[in-house]
Amino acid sequence: MQAAWYSKIGEAADVLEFGEQPTPEPLAGEVRVKLVTSGVNPSDVKSRRARPVTDPIIIPHSDGAGVIDSVGDGVSSKRVGERVWVWNAQWKRALGTASEFVCLPQAQAVTLPELVSFEAGACFGIPVLTAIEAVRLAGDIKNKTVLVIGGASAVGHYITQLVVLAGGRVIATIGSAAKAAHAKDAGALDVVNYKTEPVAERIKQLTHGAGVDVIIDMDLSTTTQLLTQGCLKPHGQLVCYGSNVPGDVPINFRTLLYASIGLKFFLVYDLAEDARTYGLQRFDALLHANRLKHTIGATLPLQDLVKAHQMVETGQVLGNVVIQI
């Protein structure tokens, strides 16, 4: 099969290779998906740059969509021919979706409705499920104000839509006029340009000095400053799914204690079973009701995976970057 892979960490142009790899066969309980698309996420880029390689090769990417063409023992043959989107294809596994075929446990191949494109299906695993879990952890947000950090990111765009569907108001941080328009397209009522505006001051202005009820955060290393600056109401919640600084992040204990601030963290790859079930069921309902916008920022062939990774690294594309297999 055709595939892209790397055998050492480094810059995309230095380590990504393209060529032929053996076609995998499904084990018991697995399905094999003939992939049509593969989604490129920031975590794929970070893994390629920093996560030690312990297998002979890594075929990157956890998200993708295609058609089941073979099944292992214990899986109904009726699933052959089923259109699916996949999640966690490369979590604790070496062989992900940047290839013609991927084998994975059958529960990780979810039916893709006929009216939903394979390109959209490549956006679901990490962006959508992260957004759903973040909003779930935020609790009841009806009539509440939610600050979405990175409102124009793939995850932030979905988070904003979900908050609005739940009856909340979104303030989104963005870094350009184009990203402001993208965040507002998702339903953000207000935007704050973190590159040109004093973020804390603007948030206080927009909330009449009260602060927001919830912060949903993609970069704890910078957002902790907003807590000490009073951007989150007393008894507010900070829900975090990422940080640009993976090690120690300074945080003011007194601020957290005296404002009774709640902190919630999660890793979308490793959700508790009940949270995973909720996310899949919630998304299935939203998908069939056509309640979410799926933004494809760029579509490239597998041979151009280096360019695709560079697009994600530089943040030059609004929406998801999708590879056509």
For 158-225, the DSSP string reads: HHHHHHHHTT-EEEEEESSHHHHHHHHHHT-SEEEETTTS-HHHHHHHHTTTS-EEEEEES-HHHHHH
- Whether the pLDDT of residue 247 is over 90: the answer is no
Last residue of a domain, one of 269, 286, 313: 269
Number of helices (H) and strands (E) in the chain: give both, helices first: 11, 15
Per-residue pLDDT at 13 exceeds 90: yes
Query: What does the pLDDT read at residue 316?
Result: 80
Residue type (1 letter), 114: E
Domain for residue 283, yes or no?
no
Whether 250 and 303 share a structural domain: no
The pLDDT assigned to 148 comes to: 98
Mean pLDDT over each residue of the chain, to the nearest integer: 97
Are residues 166 and 143 part of one domain?
A: yes
How many whole angstroms separate alpha carbon 110 and alpha carbon 280? Answer: 9
Residues 38 and 71 in one domain: yes
Specify the pLDDT at position 9.
97
Shared domain check, 208 and 88 = no
Question: Which range marks the domain in which residue 160 is found?
Answer: 126-269
Q: Are residues 145 and 156 in the same domain?
A: yes
Residues 150 and 194 in one domain: yes
Mean pLDDT value of segment 223-240: 96
pLDDT reported for residue 296: 96
The pLDDT of residue 281 is 98
Q: Kindly state the percentage of the chain with pLDDT values over 90.
A: 98
Residue 147 has pLDDT above 90, yes or no: yes
CATH number at residue 306: 3.90.180.10
Per-residue pLDDT of 34-62, as tens digits, reads: 999 999 999 999 999 999 999 999 999 99
Name the amino acid, one letter, at 249: V
- pLDDT, average across residues 265-284: 97
pLDDT higher than threshold 90 for residue 246: no
For residues 201, 204, 205, 208, the Cα torsion angle rounded to the nearest 10 degrees is -160
Statement to judge: residues 196 and 210 lie in one domain: yes
Query: What sign does the CA torsion over 199, 292, 124, 239 have?
Result: positive
Arithmetic mean of pLDDT, 89-117: 97
**Residue 111, helix vs strand vs coil:** strand
Establish if 280 belongs to a structural domain. Answer: no
Whether 279 maps to a domain, the answer reads no
- What is the C-alpha to C-alpha distance for residues 313 and 63, in angstroms, rounded to an integer? 17
Position 274 in a domain: no
pLDDT in tens, 109-123: 999 999 999 999 999
Would residue 289 count as lying in a domain? no
Quick one: 110 and 132 in the same domain? no
Calculate mean pLDDT across residues 294-318: 95
* Pair 110, 239 in one domain: no
CA atoms within a 13 Å half-sphere pointing along the CA-CB vector of 318: 16
Q: Residues 15, 107: one domain?
A: yes
| Same domain (yes/no): 118, 131 | no
pLDDT at 315: 86
Number of domains the chain contains:
2
- 0.85 surpassed by pTM: yes
Q: Which two tokens stand for residue 110?
A: 């979810």
